[in-house]
A and B are shown apart, each in its own frame.
Chain A
Amino acid sequence: MRYISIFFQYVAQYMKTRLTYRVDMVIEIMSDLLFQAVNLVFILVVFSHTQFLSGWTRDEIIFIYGFFLVPYAIFGAFFNIWDFNERYIVKGELDRILTRPIHSLFQIILERMELESLFGVITGVAIMFYAGGRLDLTVSWYDPFIFVMMVLGGAAVYAGIFILLACISFWSDSRTSIMPMMYNIGNYGRYPVDIYNNVIRFVLTWILPFAFVGVYPSAYFLGREEWYNYAFLTPFVGIACLSISVVVWNIGVTKYRGAGN
């Protein structure tokens, strides 16, 4: 309860600061939208040559892309921890975090949030409606609830993986280039996994479960019953990823060596 009220306090403060830099904010939103448009164009270009990709139609793939944008936007808004090593470990900012009476990971989430990313949710939903309309998908009353669960599960998968990567810094203070690589791998999750070979598919499902951010949950909404088992695993995989990462984080904090000053 206290955490929720602190959360809103930070959000309010964040909006206030952001509104004082109006130009900055507009540019950021624009570049975000542009980035997504480029991605969409890429998909359209691929499909201008073929209509099917191992049994998936163009519209289905666009739908998956649209869905992927939603959990990804939530992840982007709250888990900006890609520079955790440099900012908090090397510069020693974690010292300050650790002298305050709130969970350290929660504080970092609050400090690093970028709410502009949430506009991605709108883009994603719009793309889904566009693709869904062309596919004649029907929406039942419980679908919005399932959608929310799937989205939260997907965002938790993403968050869990990136928190785990950030935790590496607690043990090794050298800089690694693993974060950007992981962003690339993360993008594979938004294409149907059966276009990849079995090894990659296994990795994307069980080791770095990015497939649970895009393909698997979308398969439910697309009515692809052969994937339903995976689709309904999404929230559980999300919870598992996030819990493991928080446990590892808590162990990692005790290994923190501090920056010399």
Chain B
Amino acid sequence: MSMDKPPPPLMALIGGPQGAGLETSAQVLTVAYATLGYRVLASREYHSNIIGRHSYILLGVDPARVPRGHRYPVDVASFMDAESVFTHYKDVDRGSIVFYDSDVDNVSLERIVSMETETKRRLRRELEELGVEPTVVGVTKYMKSMGVEVVGFSYRGLLSSLRREYGIGYAEARRYISMVVAASVAKLTGLSLEELEEGLRYRFRSRPALVERNMAVARRVYSHLGNVAQIALPEPQEPPDHYMVMTGNEAVAIGKAVAGVGLQAYYPITPAQDESFYMEAHEDQTGIVVFQAEDELAAIAVATGAALTGARAATATSGPGFDLMIEGVGWACINEAPVAVTLYQRGGPSTGLPTRGSQEDLLDAAFAGHGECPRIVVASWSHEEALTDAVEAQNLAEEYQIPVIHLLDKFLANSVATLPPPMTTSFQIRRGSIEPRPGSDYRRFALPGPVSPRAFIGDAVMWYTGDEHDEYGHITEEPETRIAMVKKRFAKLDEAARNIPEEGVRLHLYPEDADPSGLDMLIHSWGTAARVTAEAVDMLRRRGLRAALVRVHYFSPYPSRLLSSIAAEAHQAGARLVNVEHNYTAQAAKIAAMKSGVVFDTHVLKYTGRPIYIDELVEALMAIHEKGLKEVHLGHGA
């Protein structure tokens, strides 16, 4: 394997206990880089815990575009505590720089109470095999022996001087450790103190005293690191005037506001809740009613009820909540009610890995529910697309009068990216067929359809029922009407398929100009896995392997024709058909086989709840290419 380093040019990792301010560190850094014009992707890995368990944030910084994923080894790692040193000692390599608390040198692995027993056992075994003493100092020596530059700093010394200087208690002083971490990464990547301060001023907008104290901490760290070599970052290319620095949750929230959503109903669940929370924080400016329901059964019902009155309505949840919503999705289906469900996938089944990501809910989103229920299913792969798809989900729901499932995952939900502000002029609100003057004989489900002109409760009289119904919405079990109504509902998907192009909308080929008949490898993927795959494709091509990505964006209506023609061409030319997904059962490949007859029989799968990293994916694809492996399961990431 050649030694080209995958992008982004800078990867930083910061680690520490949950609740110790790691997110503050990441936000300060992200904004500092963004202010300089850099593109950043920062993602957080955390346990289902509020305080004490290990969490870490990966920051990718790129001068030209938002990183499409993260990679190991990282260039800079800064640790708050001993547990981070043990957890991430293998995430760095020759040329990396590690910053840590030299006061924990003598802490042994056994003393880390917050670490899971299994993790401890694994690390003990690993260190034993390497012949490394299971203490922080042992591990740092090992890293040095591998060519890593390791810089210790006495956190205790800093804390006691802070306590003296500001007359604050230990607990309050500890909060400044998040600044130690941020400042170390900033300094080691060449940010000046003034540049770092931009991030702090953003974070502590209304509290200049906090900015000042944190800057004092930063100065201490900077002077300590005075002589350590820095990692050089190329100058940013053509940055916009502004970035919006947002998580996937926030991108969807902003998309919903732009789409004119009037009501969002939700029940708190990770990793969906921050979307609704963010919407609620801006309720007074947007006017959107954010309603916290008593459960997800109610959340979808409240949203659907609102939709019947002419409001654009939405809900957001993750797998367990979506399960509870399914009966409501069915009701929306049979009642042709436009309701959009944002579904953030996490690891299952049951509570599974509640704070980790997955692509395990595709089949659930596409097929769940009793009876036969047409729906539109859209899966976003980036923050930018999460926003535009949130707008489009509302348009499609109203145009076709059908439930829309907008699929995302925890990786998107909780990661932060720098985006240009959304060009709202490029969006359009499409409400579909609306009856301008509904009379007293208004028929909500007028045949033949598939889309009957819609009137709203409050403007006319109409009936809705979960039973099969006639044109007025009254219950019927008449076979002829049943046939007409079932066909009417399914014809929506045919019409959507006619109107929404396959090429470049429902299906994306990457690179766009790739010639399927000239490929060594055609890789099928979707969502965030596809985004990492696009990066891997670039790397494979640099290595001379003719690879291309075919990404499914709409799982319903499915891009059957285009996918089968691309796959057939590639297959005929002798290309290997590979599938990359964040699950164990290759769900998207199953849908491809079912809906387009294309069999992707070689798989790269990951189901640890951690994202697919660019380096491990490239390695897996190379192994498939060189050794003809049929299935590779990835596992990197603490």
Instruction: Please say whether chains A and B are actual partners in one complex.
Output: no
Interface set of B (CB-CB < 8 Å, partner A): none
Interface set of A (CB-CB < 8 Å, partner B): none
